[in-house]
Amino acid sequence: MLRKLGMAMALTIASTSPAMADHAALDTLVKAGMAETGTRGIAIAYIDQGKIVSVDSWGVRNAGGDPLTPDTVMYGASLTKAVFGYFVMQLADEGRIDLDRSIADYLPRPLPDYAGPAIENKYARWSDLAGDERWRKLTPRILLNHASGFANFGFAEPDGKLRFHFDPGTRYSYSGDGLILLQFVLEQGFGMDIGVEMRKRIFDKVGATRTGMMWRPDFATNLADGWTIDGKVEPHDERSKPRAAGSLDTTIADMAKIVAAYIRGDGLKPASRADLVRPQLPITTRSQFPNLQPDLPVADRHPGLSAGIGVVTFQGAQGPGSFKGGHNDSTGNTWVCIEKARRCVVILSNDVRAEPLFPRLTRALLGDTGVPWAWEYGDQPWTRP
């Protein structure tokens, strides 16, 4: 299914990539890729000059064969982190929070003092940090840069306990618990409901009417289930609470609006918009996962790869850009933006088998970008140049 917005789609391709003149060429590429990988559903949005050019969807949303449409609610997964970073930058822009101030200044009590079922059933177990005062070094920027020192999730540690693996702010290592901690700070220190606040500040303002940080019954009218790597159907999870690390439900039509606002910098001062995608901390590992990898020798690192605010920044043939992926057992998502000409591609799939298609689809729409796919997904044939 294709939704055309304002003009017939003409893919604007950099001279470094073979030209694809029209939507028919993209349609052929997507259908061939779906047949090759077994992908059952995929949706793509293309943005140029900060404006939505097209929103497309292919395939089905469930085992019953109902079509995947631009308004089908899909799981955003870790794209949530980039949208949450955009939200936090708005708070910083207004002077409500200082990205470089210790979280200790915002919490009514020391972080390890928050314990008990009401806390631990919703968040990581902050009481595990008792006796380690390094938690006071944590700032909103450090948490959004994935430089907390935590593993991805404390519950996945061998003993199930949250701990620091390095001093906060000294290196990058992906951590969902870091984002969840910042959510906790906003809720405890400011009394915020991030689901409500993100809706007011972002979703409502861009007209993302079928997007939320937790499940809504009206999503069920047009909802995507997912397919795992072995082709099994996984029902859509009805998430009962907002999670900054990954609870977003959205549609490709809505995500196009959100990412277009993001690349334009809607709601932000120019300096704050620039800070979102400013290289802030070098990324020094071979790949994103497993996290807590050792540093590579300088000569072997991915050049120009750094942490931004909730995104990863890179330098490529078209200049600076940023990207964010989203993944679970039955979901594959990505968003890639090139700062020059404010051009972006957003891809959502309710089938994790779609991920090998991402490099070729991104190249078809944006040309050569420099996205380090091998860092994002590991060294596989489809991530090599």
Amino acid in position 226:
G
Other C-beta atoms lying within 10 Å of the C-beta of residue 98: 14
Q: Which helix (H) or strand (E) holds 124?
A: none
3-state secondary structure of 281: strand
Cα of 155 vs its chain's centroid, Å: 22
pLDDT at 17: 40
Average pLDDT per block of 10 residues along the chain, 385 residues long: 40 39 85 98 97 97 98 98 98 98 98 88 92 98 98 95 98 98 97 98 98 98 98 97 97 98 98 98 97 96 96 97 98 98 98 98 95 96 91
pLDDT at 119: 85
pLDDT at 231: 97
CA-based torsion, 16, 20, 370, 278: positive or negative: positive
On whether the CB atoms of residues 321 and 370 are closer than 8 A, the answer is: yes
The CA-based angle 168-176-264, given to 5 degrees, is 95
pLDDT at 172: 98
Report the CATH number of the 2-383 domain.
3.40.710.10
pLDDT at 121: 79
On whether the CB atoms of residues 76 and 326 are closer than 8 A, the answer is: yes
- For residue 167, what are the contacts with CB-CB under 8 A and spacing of at least 6? 134, 137, 149
Across 127-137, b (16+ Cβ under 10 Å) vs e yields bbbeeeeebeb
Q: Cα Rg for the chain, rounded, in angstroms?
A: 20
pLDDT at 120: 81
Q: Which residue has the tokens 């689901």?
A: 195
CA dist 61 to 41, 67, 186, Å?
Answer: 6, 6, 35
- The phi and psi torsions of 278 (rounded to 5 degrees) equal -75, 135
Q: Which helix (H) or strand (E) holds 319?
A: strand 319-328
The pairing of strands 74-77 and 233-234 is unpaired
pLDDT at 278: 98
CA-based torsion, 98, 177, 307, 357: positive or negative: negative
> Please, is 22 exposed, middle or buried when counting C-beta atoms within 10 Å of its C-beta (0-12, 13-18, 19+)?
exposed
Other C-beta atoms lying within 10 Å of the C-beta of residue 8: 9
Phi-psi group of 229: left, alpha or beta (phi > 0 → left; psi -120 to 50 → alpha; rest → beta): alpha
- The phi and psi torsions of 189 (rounded to 5 degrees) equal -85, -30
The secondary structure of 296-315 as a DSSP string is PPGGGS-TT-EE-SSSEEEE
pLDDT at 23: 82
User: How many Å apart are CA 131 and CA 147, to the nearest integer?
Assistant: 20
pLDDT at 10: 40
Q: Tokens for 46, please give them.
A: 């293309």
Annotated domain spans of the chain: 2-383
Question: Is the overall model pTM greater than 0.85, yes or no?
Answer: yes
pLDDT at 181: 97
- The phi and psi torsions of 114 (rounded to 5 degrees) equal -85, 110
On whether the CB atoms of residues 51 and 260 are closer than 8 A, the answer is: yes
On whether the CB atoms of residues 201 and 267 are closer than 8 A, the answer is: yes
**Taking the C-alpha atoms of 126, 131, 132 and 137 in order, what is their torsion angle to the nearest 10 degrees?**
80
User: How many Å apart are CA 285 and CA 268, to the nearest integer?
Assistant: 32
CA dist 192 to 186, 206, 325, 350, Å?
Answer: 6, 21, 26, 31
